[in-house]
Amino acid sequence: MTGPTGDAHYDAGLREFRHAPGTVMIHLALSDLPDWRAGAELRDYAYVTIAPTLDAMAKTYQQPMAGLLPEEPMIVVGQPSAIDPSRAPEGKHTLWLQVRMVPAEIAGDAAGQIDARDWEAALAPFCERALDIVERHAPGLRGKILGMRCVSPRDLEADNPNLVGGDQVCGSHHLSQNAIFRPVRGHADGTTPLDGLYHTGAAVWPGASTGAGPGTLLGKMLG
């Protein structure tokens, strides 16, 4: 069966290309940076990642793969104003929480606490779960919150159609669609079966990040 390019191998690869589970983002305006229990020096970093064990990380991948809200999501905490004070009004701070990973379609809650099965209703209680986790590592965080905006995986996709189901990396990076297989074996350089048509961005090797790797490599290749 062929598809858009008429090349059976390439078209099948695109059909089988699968997205990673999604992300919830929480943006916070704060009166001060968090007081990290692990040490005050953590206030100086751009990122603080909360992922206590490999087991917890495995669960936070497997549970959304089964359609479940994870009981203990992994959280990447961004502290932009710790590095660049212009990211907040004088004396204040901003924080973002990248809460990973979540199902685009909610079939249940691994913790058995959230009954909602759509993101409109599940977002607020799920964000409270994430704040509870950060609060354990930075007691008193909630008392510093001046404002908060929660972004569901559906919101991310509505903003950017590349983020299917809120997948922030534009396609899972598991081995069978990474490196020379990304997006399809034989086309990791951004070429397609159609002369003059190129594919670039996070779905192409070397994949997602703000480092612009795929476009840079394609630009170099095309000279």
Ligand X SMILES: Cc1cc2nc3c(=O)[nH]c(=O)nc-3n(C[C@H](O)[C@H](O)[C@H](O)COP(=O)(O)OP(=O)(O)OC[C@H]3O[C@@H](n4cnc5c(N)ncnc54)[C@H](O)[C@@H]3O)c2cc1C
- Residue 133 C-beta: closest distance to ligand X, Å: 18
Q: Where does this chain touch ligand X (CB under 6 A) — which range of 66-74, 111-119, 124-132, 161-169?
A: 161-169
Asked if residue 155 lies in contact with residue 118, where contact means CB atoms within 8 angstroms, the answer is: no
**Burial (Cβ within 10 Å: 0-12, 13-18, ≥19) of residue 12:** middle
Looking at the Cβ atoms of 101 and 170, the one nearer to ligand X is: 170
Q: Are strands 68-69 and 108-109 parallel, antiparallel or unpaired?
A: parallel
Examine residue 82 and tell whether it contacts ligand X (CB under 6 A): no
Examine residue 201 and tell whether it contacts ligand X (CB under 6 A): yes
Burial profile 105-143: b = 16 or more Cβ within 10 angstroms, e = fewer = ebeebbeeebeeeebeebbeebbebbbebbeebbeebee
Name which position in 5, 162, 178, 192 contacts ligand X (CB under 6 A): 162
Q: Where does this chain touch ligand X (CB under 6 A) — which range of 64-72, 79-87, 186-194, 205-213?
A: 205-213
Q: Where does this chain touch ligand X (CB under 6 A) — which range of 67-75, 114-122, 186-194, 208-216?
A: 208-216
- Residue 214 C-beta: closest distance to ligand X, Å: 7
Examine residue 67 and tell whether it contacts ligand X (CB under 6 A): no
Question: How many residues touch ligand X (CB under 6 A)?
Answer: 16
Asked if residue 75 lies in contact with residue 41, where contact means CB atoms within 8 angstroms, the answer is: no
Name which position in 20, 163, 184, 188 contacts ligand X (CB under 6 A): 163
57: phi then psi, degrees, rounded to nearest 5: -70, -40
- Residue 68 C-beta: closest distance to ligand X, Å: 21
Cα torsion through 26, 103, 182, 49, rounded to 10: 40
| H helix or E strand, kind and range, residue 68 | strand 68-69
Examine residue 95 and tell whether it contacts ligand X (CB under 6 A): no
**CA 82/CA 2 separation, integer angstroms:** 51
- Residue 90 C-beta: closest distance to ligand X, Å: 26
Examine residue 25 and tell whether it contacts ligand X (CB under 6 A): yes
Tokens coding 168: 């922030």
Looking at the Cβ atoms of 53 and 210, the one nearer to ligand X is: 210
CA 175 to chain CA centroid, nearest Å: 18
Q: Under the rule (CB under 6 A), what is the footprint of ligand X?
A: 23, 25, 98, 156, 160-163, 168-170, 201-202, 208-210
